[in-house]
């Protein structure tokens, strides 16, 4: 099934077609195999490939309904990109949290005790330096550039939504503006 056929199935309003399209992705050997490989590669102990896949399919379904997946690529490729981002985001969170001390099983059921047992790891000097450079580079940008990058990267708005919020004529103008701002950020970061 190509991207446009997948979009049609999701947007058709026919539950049978929609479920068949999602099931095709869920049972894809390429998707399953790639997720198992990534789970081993990233040492995912708490996060199962099936959980990642289910979360990715839900996000893909929402993106199709919002018009943010236009079907230009294969649904499997797009889904794997979503799943990779889920894994990456999960790893960032997990890598920054560690136990302060041991605690009993009973403490797991009391949120106030559990929160006391966890702490954020300190950033390494290299990570802190990177973050400082990024903050300085962002401060050097114009307000319009900061806004465009915030809308696109942090709020994950489509180019059409960025254009609408920034008062630009169309998505192409928004794409050009974001590209220019991204390059200005690179230049400022040195």
Query: Tens digit of pLDDT for each residue in 33-57?
Result: 888 888 777 777 656 778 888 999 9
pLDDT of residue 176: 93
CA atoms of 156 and 183, how far apart (whole Å): 19
Beta bridge partners of 118: 99
Helix ranges (DSSP H) in 99-170: 111-117, 125-140, 143-149, 159-166
State the average pLDDT over residues 175-185.
91
pTM of the prediction? 0.48
Helix-strand-coil split of the chain, %, nearest 5: 75, 5, 25
Query: Tens digit of pLDDT for each residue in 57-98?
Result: 999 988 888 888 877 788 888 888 888 888 877 776 655 545
């Amino acid at each position: 099934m190509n991207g446009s056929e997948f979009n049609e199935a999701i947007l058709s309003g026919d539950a049978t077609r929609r479920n068949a399209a999602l099931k095709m992705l869920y049972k894809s050997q390429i998707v399953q195999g790639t997720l198992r490989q990534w789970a081993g590669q990233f040492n995912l102990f708490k996060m199962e490939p099936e959980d990642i896949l289910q979360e990715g399919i839900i996000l893909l379904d929402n993106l199709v309904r919002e018009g943010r997946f236009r079907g230009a690529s294969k649904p499997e490729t797009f889904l794997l990109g979503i799943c990779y981002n889920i894994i990456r985001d999960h790893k960032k969170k997990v890598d920054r949290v560690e136990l302060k001390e041991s605690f009993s099983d009973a403490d797991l059921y009391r949120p106030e005790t559990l929160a006391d047992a966890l702490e954020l790891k300190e950033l390494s000097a290299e990570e802190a330096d990177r973050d400082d450079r990024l903050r300085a580079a962002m401060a050097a940008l114009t307000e319009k550039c900061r806004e465009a990058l915030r809308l696109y990267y942090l709020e994950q708005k489509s180019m059409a939504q960025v254009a609408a919020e920034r008062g630009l004529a169309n998505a192409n103008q928004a794409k050009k503006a974001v590209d220019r701002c991204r390059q200005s950020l690179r230049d400022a970061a040195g």
